[in-house]
Each structure stands twice: as C-alpha cells, then as structure tokens.
C-alpha cells in the first residue's frame, strides 16, 4: 500500500518536472523576437517615450532600484536565475521602452514575475532606462 502511493507520488513529481521543462522550452517570441509576455503589451505602448531615456542619473537610479527589488530573482548582473530570465537577452532588449514599462507595471504573476504597479511611474521608467543601458 505504502509502496503504491510512493510510486504515485514519484509519477506525479515526474509529471511536474516534465511540464516545467516543457514551459522552459516554450519561451515563445513574436516576429520581432520579443518574449510573448512583453509582446502582449497593447500596441500603443510601443510609442510611449521614456522621459529618462539615456540619462546617466536615471540609469544609476534604475540600477539601485534593480538591486533593491529585482536582483534577488534576476541576479545582481541581471543575467537571470532559474525561471527569472536573463534580461540581457535580445528577446527582452528588442522590446520598446514602452512595452517594458507596461510589462513592469503588470508583471506576469502566473509565471512568478511580480507586478510593480506599487512603484511610482517615474521609478519604473528609471528601471527601463537601466535595462536599456545593457545594450550599449
Ligand atoms: C520574485 C522573483 C522576481 C522578482 C523580484 C522580479 N522578477 Fe522579473 N521575472 C521573474 C520571473 C520568474 C520571470 C519569467 C516570467 C516568465 O516566464 O514569463 C521574470 C521575467 C521578467 C522579464 C521578462 C519578461 C518575461 O515575461 O519573461 C523582465 C523584463 C523582468 N522580469 C524584469 C524585472 C524587473 C525590472 C524587476 C524588478 C523591478 C523584476 N523583474 C523582479 C521573477 C522576478
């Protein structure tokens, strides 16, 4: 009886592992190569302008915010840990600043990315300025 339920548990565990790795592979992107979670941003967000674009002060402020709020999951260099993706990937960097700002506000709770709607809008733009500074 005990052995039987152990087998059942093992099967269950294996199923979860299988589902987990399948979803890892399914990091689908749109035709621009942007992660679908971000690409779900409404089209209008593509024209949103980051008021802090390329400003060194904002990049620095964004870095501080990143270390405070994001590094625990994405790593101090934003290279990703486990499911929390590497933010240097072109699948993230190809997104427009507006799409990133939208994504930060909404998150992807279902997949473990918190929503940052509690941060003032200005701070989300500073975070975007920091993320975009990786490309230089
Ligand atoms: C509790 C852990 C956690 C924290 C804290 C966190 N993230 Fe994430 N983040 C994730 C996970 C998990 C994903 C992958 C979600 C998925 O599979 O789509 C993710 C994905 C992302 C993505 C890529 C879009 C995507 O859907 O994969 C960006 C950009 C991002 N995070 C930025 C940030 C920023 C900026 C912060 C800090 C304000 C932050 N994250 C804080 C866990 C976290």
**Rounded average pLDDT over 53-58:** 94
| Distance of CA 14 from the midpoint of ligand 1 (Å) | 26
pLDDT (0 to 100) of residue 15: 64
Mutate to test the pocket of ligand 1, among 20, 61, 73, 110 (most ligand atoms within 8 A of CB): 73
Whether residue 45 contacts residue 105, with contact meaning beta carbons closer than 8 Å, is answered with no
**pLDDT: which is higher, 100 or 4:** 100
Q: What is the structure's pLDDT at 131? A: 98
| Number of the ligand 1 atom closest to the C-alpha atom of 36 | 26
Long-range pairs of 85-92 with CB within 8 A, sequence gap ≥ 24? 85/27, 85/35, 87/131, 87/134, 88/134, 90/33, 91/27, 91/29, 91/33, 91/34, 91/35, 92/34, 92/35, 92/38, 92/131
Phi, psi of 117 (to 5 degrees): -70, -15
Average pLDDT across the chain, whole number: 90
Distance CA 85, CA 81 (A): 7
Ligand 1 neighbours, Cβ below 6 Å, are: 35, 37-38, 69-70, 72-74, 83-85, 87, 92, 100, 103-104, 108, 111-114, 116, 127
């Amino acid at each position: 009886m005990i052995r039987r339920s152990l087998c059942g548990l093992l099967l269950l565990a294996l199923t979860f592992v299988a589902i987990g790795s399948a979803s890892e592979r399914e990091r689908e992107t749109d035709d621009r190569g942007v992660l679908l979670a971000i690409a779900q941003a409404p089209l209008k967000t593509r024209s949103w302008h980051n008021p802090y674009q390329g400003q060194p002060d904002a990049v620095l402020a964004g870095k501080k915010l990143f270390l405070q709020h994001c590094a625990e999951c994405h790593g101090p260099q934003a290279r990703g840990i486990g499911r929390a993706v590497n933010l240097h990937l072109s699948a993230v960097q190809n997104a427009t600043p507006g799409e990133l700002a939208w994504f930060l506000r909404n998150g992807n709770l279902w997949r473990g990315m918190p929503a940052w709607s509690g941060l003032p809008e200005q701070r989300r733009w500073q975070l975007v300025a920091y993320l975009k500074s990786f490309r230089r």
